Amino acid sequence: MKKVIIIGASSGIGKALAEIFSKNGYEVGLTARRVELLKEIQSKLSVKSYVKYMDLLKPEDSIKGLEELIKGMGGVDIIVINSGVGYEAKKLEFVKERAAIDVNVLGFTAMAVAATNYFEDKGTGHIVGISSIAAIRPFRQAPAYGASKAFISFYLKGLRHKFINQGKDIFVTDILPGFVCTDLTKGNEHMFWISTAEKSASQIYQAIVKRKRTAYITKRWHLIALFLKIIPDFIYNRI
């Protein structure tokens, strides 16, 4: 039986992914700060599952926690790094900008390093990172969020380059969602093409099992990505 760990599984896309993997016969490891929510999810899963407290604001502890969870599960095949925070506001607040960097950059890196070291020792595996369409161009109302997601995408590309150069059987998938109806997007009045967490997770699951390098969620966000990549700055800055 294949095994997957979802880092940031207490709600939204992470929760929906846990349910989809479970329905498809995967043993699932669930991590987050809100253990009570993880246990609720666990009680509804159809296969064996594991719960582990993890707070990416404490990266060293999170590395140890991930290593313990992998050992407790008897090894894993896929690690999905889904945890992330972001704030959108006209007036920036350093505390919130720092929180985005601490979780999305430092916390992500801690998990990516731990996953890389494990899969390199094992000789095979699959690392999945949840980035964002916001990674493609600067995001004026949440600069740290967009910058941190760009870091994630670039880091994943670096890992892919590393594994290909080494000849390792380790896959890397960069997931770039558009607007998804989750706690993170509550109050955002500028959203369009909004997807449910369940629909997004379904497409993410398909991208993972197909071992895609990059996937836009939902698929039509690929059009926005192409637009963002080619639009000149003097036009983009007026949008």
Instruction: Pick the catalytic residue from 145, 155, 205, 216.
Output: 145
Residue linked to tokens 């880091």: 155
Instruction: Measure the CA–CA gap between 98 and 132, rounded to whole angstroms.
Output: 18
CA-based R_g, the chain, Å: 17
Provide the CB-side half-sphere exposure for 174 (13 A, CA): 20
> What tokens does 136 get?
């493609």
Check if 145 is active-site: yes
Where do the H-state alpha helices sit in the chain?
12-23, 35-44, 59-72, 94-101, 108-122, 143-166, 197-209, 221-230, 233-236
CB 196, CB 9: distance < 8 Å: no
Instruction: Measure the CA–CA gap between 43 and 46, rounded to whole angstroms.
Output: 8
Single-letter code of the amino acid located at 6: I
Where do the H-state alpha helices sit in 45-170?
59-72, 94-101, 108-122, 143-166
- What residues form DSSP beta bridges with 217? 177
Q: Which residues are catalytic?
A: 145
